[in-house]
Amino acid sequence: MQAKIVTLPGDGIGPDIVAEAVRVMQQVAQQYGHTFTFEEAMMGGCAIDATGNPLPDETIAACESADAVLLGAVGGPQWSDPTAAVRPEQGLLKLRHHFDLFANLRPVKAYPALAQYAPLRAELLADVDILFVRELTSGIYFGPRQEQGNGTEAHDTMYYNVEQVERVARVAFEAAQKRGGKLTSIDKANVLASMRLWRRVVTDVATDYPDVTLEHILVDAAAMYLMKYPSDFDVVVAGNMFGDILSDETSILAGSLGMLPSASLNAGTFGVYEPIHGSAPDIAGKGIANPIATILSAALLLRHSLHLETEAQTIENAVNATLEQGARTVDIAADPAAALSTTAFTDQVLAQLK
């Protein structure tokens, strides 16, 4: 197979972790006889500094010509003023909107090798394997917003319509069919009109998937249940903001934000793949960032955009084997003095691939 992949390293630790994921993909391509070409483009704070635009037109054009995009992270303290007219996060939202990346897949897996170091009791982490399906191009992040009264008032609108809820619900139901057959829908239907619409539409869609068990849970209860009964969850579908918050919360189940990948997909095969964590400016340039989330995001890229399931599983198995052998980056190490650098950890993954 031949495929073009655009990389958007972004800011902070982004360039470091994207480079490691590219190394892994290059070795997979070599072992399985594929040809992957990589083109780097600017996005985020670095793009603001260079062009004044967090997502330049040249970057959009490069992404339009690609089979998939591998993204690092955007943002940092030098661009963190929330009142600034131009911010790195605007580039991320524009990218999602431009390519209609409405379905954000966020798998959360608890690794047995890390269970003893997690804040939760090890027995709670047994068999934890959750897939979050987060609606990504609607909701409060994209609804109408306005500041009024010379900065003394502001509002953001959580807007959903039937089509927006239905299409992400179908992605979630189809994922549940291939997994454990259970779907949990998260809302705040007891308070919010938009969430009453959400619940009604998800319930209607469920009639097309009689082999999937559907349950509805209010978001505040879900926040507790995910920590108390994490193995009870299979596929979770949620709106933009609730899905963002809850999937970040469940990083505690995996041991670190550095463990969790994501895939942002449209109705076709194109997708943007990225770790769910931020740019971690406090450790940028130190060579200690955890590359696992980005490497696993590359596996999702192979699975969802290139339909290379065997290759994707090979990467995931290599990461798991590396952890089982005791390799750790500093964020998941019991003894920080024994932690591996970003590059050294990836070297161990590459050895497992071979």
CATH number for position 192: 3.40.718.10
List 220, 228, 282, 286, catalytic entry: 220
Residue 156 backbone dihedrals phi, psi, to 5 degrees:
-125, 140
Nearest partner of 28 among 282, 296, 328, 273, judged by Cα: 296
Residues 248, 277, single domain; the answer is: no
Query: Which of 236, 254, 272 marks a domain boundary?
Result: 254
Residue 111 domain-assigned (yes or no): no
Tens-digit pLDDT profile for residues 218-260: 999 999 999 999 999 999 999 999 999 999 999 889 888 899 9
Tens-digit pLDDT profile for residues 265-313: 999 999 999 999 999 999 999 999 999 999 999 999 999 999 999 999 9
State the burial class of residue 296 (Cβ atoms within 10 Å of its Cβ: 0-12, 13-18, 19+): buried
List 141, 160, 209, 273, catalytic entry: 141
pLDDT for 72 beyond 90: yes
Residues 220, 310, single domain; the answer is: no
Residue 107 domain-assigned (yes or no): no
Determine the pLDDT at residue 334: 85
Determine the pLDDT at residue 119: 81
4 is catalytic: no
Query: Which of 254, 277, 302 marks a domain boundary?
Result: 254
244 is catalytic: yes
Residue 108 domain-assigned (yes or no): no
The amino acid at residue 172 is A
Task: Copy the structure tokens of residue 348.
Answer: 């161990």
Residues 5, 83, single domain; the answer is: yes
Residues 128, 248, single domain; the answer is: yes
Residues 125, 249, single domain; the answer is: yes
List 67, 187, 234, 244, catalytic entry: 244
Specify the pTM.
0.95
Contacts of 30 (CB under 8 A, 6+ apart): none
| 265 secondary structure, DSSP code | E
Residues 124, 198, single domain; the answer is: yes
List 156, 188, 225, 232, catalytic entry: 188
Residue 109 domain-assigned (yes or no): no
Query: Which run of H or of E encompasses 84?
Result: none
Residues 130, 74, single domain; the answer is: no
3-class secondary-structure state, position 95: helix
Residue 114 domain-assigned (yes or no): no
Strands 153-156 and 145-148 turn out to be antiparallel
| 233 secondary structure, DSSP code | -
Dihedral of the alpha carbons of 16, 19, 20, 23, in degrees to the nearest 10 = -160
List 100, 232, 248, 347, catalytic entry: 248
220 is catalytic: yes
Residue 113 domain-assigned (yes or no): no
Residue 270 domain-assigned (yes or no): yes
Query: Which of 234, 254, 274 marks a domain boundary?
Result: 254
Residues 160, 68, single domain; the answer is: no
Instruction: For tokens 């926040």, name the residue.
Output: 223
Show the domain range for 47.
Answer: 1-101+260-354
pLDDT for 108 beyond 80: yes
Strands 35-40 and 213-218 turn out to be unpaired
Nearest partner of 99 among 345, 268, 284, 266, judged by Cα: 266
16 is catalytic: no
Lowest pLDDT segment from 14-18, 195-199, 297-301, 330-334 = 330-334
